[in-house]
Amino acid sequence: MSTLETIAWAIPLLPIALSFIPILFGGRLPKGGGHVAIASVGVSAILSGIVLLRLPSTPVDYSVTWLLTGSAVPLRVGFYLDHLSAIMVNITAWIALLILIYSLEYMGHEEGLGRYWTEMMIFTGSMMGFALADSILLMYVFWELIGACSYLLIGFWYTLPEAAAAAKKAFVVVRVGDVGFFVGFVLIYLYGHTLSLQALLTQPTTTIVSPTLRTTIAILIFVGAIGKSAQLPLYTWLPDAMEGPTTVSALIHSATMVAAGVYLVARLYPFFMAAPHALTVVAWVGGLSAFLAATMGLVSTDLKRILAYSTMSQLGYMMTALGVGAYGAAMFHLLNHAIFKALLFLSAGAVLHVLGTRDIRQMGGLLREMKITSIAFLVGALSLSGIPPFNGFFSKDIILGAAYEYGATTGNYYIYVLTLVSVILTAAYIFRAFFVGYVLPPKQPREKPVHEVPAVMSIPMIILMALTLITGWLWSPVTNIFEPFATYSPLIPPTPTAPIALTAVSLTFAVIGITLAYSGYVRSWFDPARLRQGAVGLRLHKLISSGYYFDAAYSAVAKGLSQGLSLALDFFDRSLIDGAVNGIGHGLTLLGRRVRTVETGRVRNYLAIMVVGIVLIVVLVEVL
Amino acid sequence: MDWITPTVFFPLAWGFILLIASQSKWGESNAPRLALVGTLITLLLSIGLLVEYGLQPLNWKFGSFSEYVSYHWLPQLGINLSFGVDGISVPLVLLTTITMVVVVLSSWKVIENRKALYYSLIMISEAGVLGVFTSLDLFVFYIFWELVLIPMFFLIGIWGGPRKVYSAYKFLIYTHVGSVAMLVGFFIAYFSTGGVSFNLMFIAQQLTSPSFPEYLKVAVFTALVLGFLIKMPVFPFHTWLPDAHVEAPSPVSVVLASLLLKMGGYGMIRLAFEMIPSVAESYAYPIMLLGVVSAVYAALVAYRQDDVKRMVAFSSISHMGFVLVGVATLTSVGIVGSVFQMFSHGIIVGSLFLLSGFVGETTGTRQISRLGGLAKLIPRLGGLMTFASLASVGLPGLSGFVAEFMILTATFSHGFAVGISLAAVLALSAGYYMWMLQRMVFSKPKQIETHGDLSGSELIGLAVFSAIIIILGVYPYLLTSYISPTAGLIVRTTGW
């Protein structure tokens, strides 16, 4: 085993292997065993850094035999190091580390803290395993573990009925998508006789020969990504998942769960390119999700829900980038988004920690009282809106440029228009939250004085703020760590560069969005509440705030299933099938009365008769 | 060394010793310890068998069997005590001996009266199950098959719940109909091959010869399949199962679900499909469809169950549907998947029955709608219930996933529609399990009196089960290295 191989195995498995400590012994450890979690993820983060620095020039695959299926080829699983997996594992490890440090104070006084750390360790370890996995089978294993951990973490406060319901919803809705992923990779195994990434990435067309089948498989796998990344139409779990602790939301929304869907498509990108029309579907789903989520963010008053819709919208941007061929830009935006979204959530969490409310209308005045927290939110909001020099600007600019180029080559400008309009909406909803929640004076006087959060919570925010100023330059004329993808996989074309005029347009749109929020909420030059008056406005508001009725439709289906079909089948089972059985029984009993003299109906006697019978046979045989 | 004979006959002898001991006061009070020793010795014997089977280069004597030992019994009728194991039966033997240790451990507190009789019946049924998995003589197979039935009848009828008598009779009569169907199949096979021998390999050889009349083959196959469908059980022959499981005391439910159902699955592979491969090939598709229907149907009915034990019972039917489908795909992946599923399902559903039974014992009710917040009230139970439910819905990293993956792969090779229908069960079972957890384990704690959390011997048993679920899920190679060569051999020799 080479050093690099040992490191590759250790990164995901170390936190998972040590995860039993907090839950079993947390009661006897300070902070419920939080230091174990931080130390193990910290080591993984350092090892991930070493991997990135020592990356071999060609992808390497370390695997062991895992399953024998009776046929000639055994299934192997292991870990795969290349440029993409090294970047992803670093994003996950470092962001998770910051969030875990922040949790030390934020979650410090909760009951059942050992459970929290254990689940966070498996969660982070699984995401790193997902990033490094060398076969689709292993990716699926970690994918589902991520889902199960998110289920447990969203339901951390399980005694609250809303939290228990939200956890179940997250698991089941995502599972519906997972069935697509599952079927997709089963088909790959069936027709391609392999699940190794190496084969799929280097020879997608010889592994799966039929183009129709490639498209089918790619779309099925994408359905899994839709569920995990909360895209249309499987997004409904994401807003409800805000019932979990804010640190969990921060992790889910930045570097783990939702990022997994985007990473899945990125990981299998050569295969998606070899599947006709699959990327078009990805682009449309991404563009529509980006736009519709932004509209939902505009009408919500719950700070965490606004951020949740924002996540859905930004993941839409990443999917769009993948769909229009800007592979590197998607990963670049994933990195930048992970940083500024973690920052926004940690700021929201600090407010919640101090004020105890998530409703922006009940906040206000924080800019004075919680300076670091408020500035953190402002920096995150500027980055999210795409204002330079914050990192969100750089990646969003490349995505918009690529979407425009896509329109120019295919004639489909709709994707570009959707993403461009979303820029205004994004800036408007996030600055609405900032102005109403942080800047405007509070509506009611405070019951107790409000103080800034302690250093263990503010330092992770400060680090993240610094990062929003740094990571944008990773793709610039100076340095570009996101384009060497081409040298790893010659199948992936370089991302097109956009003309400077487009940058001016998108920047203008972002400024318009901020100005709208400023003039409506701070200056009151117009009354935003009037927008939802009148016949059209009222209906539109209802449509958007109900989440375009997806939730209602799913509830109806679930209800129909459990109360309609299932009720009918249960009745069928009890009355018809079991009724028939009992009926036959009765009939036989009636018949049996005639031979009652022999058959006493007592099983004990049968046992005796059976023994006598066997003895009789033996005796007869011996005599004859 | 011959490890099979002691593995099968030791628990039988120990069971009779316990039966005799039940007459004395000492025996009555020491019965649980004696039973634990008995099951542990059997476990060690079976590990000896496993090691020897794994070490020796596969020494095929007849078909896919090795470890062939035989004693004359009734040579005039062609009946011999012949035993053997291969990669399909060895895992099931191990499943039996492990499960029985856990069954004894978890009976410790539950069974309070007539202990020695109870444990004696448990040991006798263990011998019966082991005999079924190792017999190479159809007549002996049948005797062991019935040897399981009778102790089970008493175990349900004496120590069961409120409707124990109805359930015990229903169980006995229903499954006995299956046994009779099977016996008829055996007799047709025996007499039509000249009435010379009940030896499995001999009969299999005769049945596969081209000169053997086709209608007789079909008759034997139909009779056997009917018998095994009832035992597994598969829709529409399943209604004995929910009643029997719900009324039986939890450890006995474990024997029923973890072991008795596997007798049906094992018989389906070994006797129906492997013995008469040509007929199996022509009827495989409808049988596979029946398995899919059973899996989907039971999953849908499970949604409506308010009694958590009954819900687990339907989930058990749903998962056994996968076993039938895997076999009926006639592929080596499918067969490996089926055997793996039988092992994994035995462990997972065993845990779930123990847990749901414990819920009833400690709170006085098993109705989901009357429970809530158990994770707060009895956290060990809450944690293990969550774990076992996740295992049951096929969470990767746990054993259930591996089996479902293999069976689904095999199913998709028979068409997209059947594959998708079976895959939908994954989402359906996630639905009802998560819904149950949300209402019963999580949510606000209701005003419920509890008599303590899991502890002592029950906890040890569940820890053993949980460890196996994780080990096999993380590294399924351990088990598939036994199953895989045999499954490959079956597919090659039958020519599917």
Q: For residues A291 and A300, give the distance between their C-alpha atoms in angstroms, rounded to a whole number.
A: 15
Residue B72 lies in a domain: no
Radius of gyration of chain A (CA): 29
A162 CB near a chain B CB, below 8 Å?
no
> Where does the pLDDT of residue A594 fall: very low under 50, low under 70, confident under 90, or very high at 90 and above?
low
Please say if the pLDDT value at position A78 is more than 50.
yes
- Residue ranges of B 163-182 with Cβ closer than 8 A to chain A: 170, 172-174
Written as one letter, the residue type at A186 is V
Which of B438, B477, B493 to mutate against chain A (most A CBs within 10 Å)?
B438
In this prediction, residue A562 has a pLDDT band, given cuts at 50, 70 and 90, of low
Residue B431, chain A, CB below 8 Å: the answer is yes
Q: Specify the pairing of strand B66-74 against strand A75-81.
A: unpaired
Statement to judge: residues A540 and A560 lie in one domain: no
Tell me the pLDDT tens digit for each residue of A471-498.
888 776 666 677 666 555 555 666 666 6
Beta carbons of A133 and A77 less than 8 angstroms apart: yes
The mean pLDDT of chain A is 81
Considering its fold, how many domains does chain B have in total? 1
Show the tokens assigned to A435. Answer: 């102005």
Which SS3 state, helix, strand or coil, does residue B79 take?
strand
Give the end of a domain, one of A511, A545, A579.
A545
The C-alpha atoms of residue A42 and residue A275 are separated, in whole angstroms, by 39
Is A561 at the interface with chain B, CB within 8 A?
yes
Q: Give A36 to chain B, closest Cα distance, Å.
A: 21
The minimal CB distance from B477 to the residues A68, A141, A172 is found for A68
The conformational region for residue A380 under phi > 0 = left, psi -120 to 50 = alpha, else beta, is: alpha
A415 & A561 share domain: no
Best mutation site among B442, B447, B466, B478 for testing chain A: the one with the most A CBs within 10 Å?
Answer: B442
Residues 562-621 of A with CB under 8 A from B: 562, 565-567, 569-570, 573, 577-578, 581, 585, 603, 606-607, 610, 614, 617-618, 621
Nearest residue to A160 (alpha-carbon basis) of B435, B441, B442: B442
Q: Report pLDDT for A611.
A: 64
Considering the domain architecture, whether residues A579 and A513 belong to the same structural domain is answered as: no
* Nearest residue to A294 via CA among A117, A389, A423, A173: A423
Domain assignment present for A463: yes
What tokens does B381 get? Answer: 């139970």
Question: For residue A477, with 0-12 CB atoms within 10 Å meaning exposed, 13-18 middle and 19 or more buried, which class applies?
Answer: exposed
User: Are A446 and A350 in the same domain?
Assistant: yes
ipTM over 0.95: no
B287 lies in a domain? Answer: yes
Asked if B229 has any chain A CB less than 8 Å from its own CB, the reply is: no
B484 touches chain A (CB under 8 A): yes
pLDDT at A567: 73
Residues A441 and A574 in one domain: no
User: B284, B268, B265, B286: which is closest to B349 by C-alpha?
Assistant: B265
CB A452 within 8 A of CB A373: yes
- Rounded-to-integer distance, Cα A145 and Cα A151, Å: 10
Instruction: Give domain status of residue A179, yes or no.
Output: no
The per-residue pLDDT for B7 is 92
User: Shortest CA distance to A108 belongs to which of A456, A458, A452?
Assistant: A456
Q: pLDDT confidence of A610, banded at 50, 70, 90?
A: low
CB-based contacts of A557: which residues, under 8 Å, 6+ apart? none
Q: Does a structural domain hold residue A187?
A: no
CB–CB contact A182 B423 (8 Å) = yes
Q: How far, in Å, CA of A573 to CA of B352, rounded?
A: 23
| Partners of residue A182 in chain B, C-beta under 8 Å | 405, 408, 423, 426
Q: What are B153's two structure tokens?
A: 């009848």
Q: Are residues A533 and A403 located together in one domain of the fold? A: yes
Residues A566, A577: Cα–Cα separation, whole Å: 15
Q: Least CB-CB distance to A161: which of B150, B419, B444?
A: B444
**C-alpha of A75 from chain center:** 27
Distance (Å, whole) CA B221 – CA B187? 12
Q: Where are the alpha helices (DSSP H) in A482-545?
A: 485-488, 500-517, 534-545
Q: Please tell me the predicted confidence (pLDDT) of residue A593.
A: 59
Model confidence at A169, in pLDDT bands (50, 70, 90)?
A: confident
Q: Evaluate whether residue B24 is within a structural domain.
A: no
Q: Where are the beta strands (DSSP E) in B258-403?
A: none
Structure tokens belonging to residue A487: 């040298």
Section A133-158 average pLDDT: 88
Give the domain range for residue B446.
Answer: 278-496
Contact A183 B303 (CB under 8 A): no
Residue A206 within a domain? no
Q: Is residue A15 part of a domain?
A: no
- In chain A, which among 18-77 make CB contacts under 8 A with chain B? 65-71
Between CA B46 and CA B95 the distance in angstroms is: 10
| A522 part of a folded domain | yes
Q: Has residue B348 been placed in a domain?
A: yes
Same domain for A614 and A466: no
- Tell me whether residue B356 is in a domain: yes
The pLDDT assigned to A121 comes to 92
Query: Is A505 exposed, middle or buried (CB count within 10 Å of its CB: 0-12, 13-18, 19+)?
Result: middle
Q: At what angle do helices A455-470 and A327-355 cross, to 10 degrees?
A: 160
Q: Which chain A residues are Cβ-neighbours of B397 within 8 angstroms?
A: 141, 144-145
d(CA B31, CA B117) in angstroms, rounded, equals 9
Domain of A526 in residue numbering reads as 337-545
Query: Would you report the helix, strand and coil content of chain A in percent, each value rounded to 5?
Result: 75, 5, 20
> Is B358 in CB contact (< 8 Å) with chain A?
no
Three-class DSSP category at B445: coil
Q: Peptide bond before B485: cis, by omega within 30 degrees of 0? A: no
The pLDDT, as a whole number, for residue A415 is 87
Asked if residues A63 and A135 have their Cβ atoms less than 8 Å apart, the reply is yes
Any CB–CB contact under 8 A between B426 and chain A?
yes
Q: Are residues A598 and A463 in the same domain?
A: no
Place of tokens 């299934």: A75
Q: Chain B: give the shortest CA distance to residue A299, in Å.
A: 29
Is residue A210 in some structural domain? no
Q: Which residue has the tokens 């796998």?
A: A221
| pLDDT tens track, chain B, 496 positions | 688 889 999 999 999 888 888 888 888 888 889 899 999 999 999 999 888 887 764 544 445 555 577 787 777 788 888 888 888 889 999 999 999 999 999 988 888 888 888 899 999 999 999 999 999 889 999 999 999 988 898 898 888 888 888 888 888 888 888 888 899 899 888 888 888 888 888 888 888 888 888 888 899 999 999 999 998 888 888 888 888 888 889 899 999 989 999 999 999 998 889 888 888 888 999 999 999 999 999 998 888 888 999 999 999 999 999 999 999 999 888 999 999 999 999 999 999 999 998 888 888 888 888 888 888 888 888 889 999 999 998 888 899 999 998 999 899 888 888 888 888 888 888 888 988 888 888 877 877 777 778 778 888 999 999 999 999 998 999 898 888 888 888 888 887 7
Residues with Cβ within 8 Å of residue B280, at least 6 apart in sequence:
B221, B272, B273, B330, B494
A548 DSSP assignment: G
Of A523, A545, A567, which marks where a domain is finished? Answer: A545
Question: Has residue A248 been placed in a domain?
Answer: no
B289 part of a folded domain: yes
**A595 and A530 in one domain?**
no
Tokens of A299: 């009408």
**Paired residues of B70 in beta bridges:** B82
Residue B78 is predicted with a pLDDT of: 81
Hey, what are A428's tokens? 């408007």
Q: What is the pLDDT of residues A376-408, one digit of tens each?
A: 899 999 999 888 888 888 888 888 888 888 888
d(CA A399, CA A495): 9
Q: Choose among A334, A336, A329: nearest CA to A257.
A: A334
Q: How many residues does chain B have?
A: 496
Percentage of chain A lying above the pLDDT 90 cut: 8
Structural domain total, chain A: 2
- Residue B61: per-residue pLDDT: 41
Residues A571 and A442 reside in one and the same domain: no
| Interface mutation vs chain B, best among A573, A605, A606, most B CBs within 10 Å | A573
Residue B394 in any domain: the answer is: yes
Quick check: is B374 in a domain?
Answer: yes
Q: Which of A545, A563, A585 is the last residue of a domain?
A: A545
Domain identity same for A568 and A449: no
Distance separating alpha carbons of residues A185 and A50, to the nearest angstrom: 32
Instruction: State the nearest Cα–Cα gap between A66 and chain B, in angstroms.
Output: 5
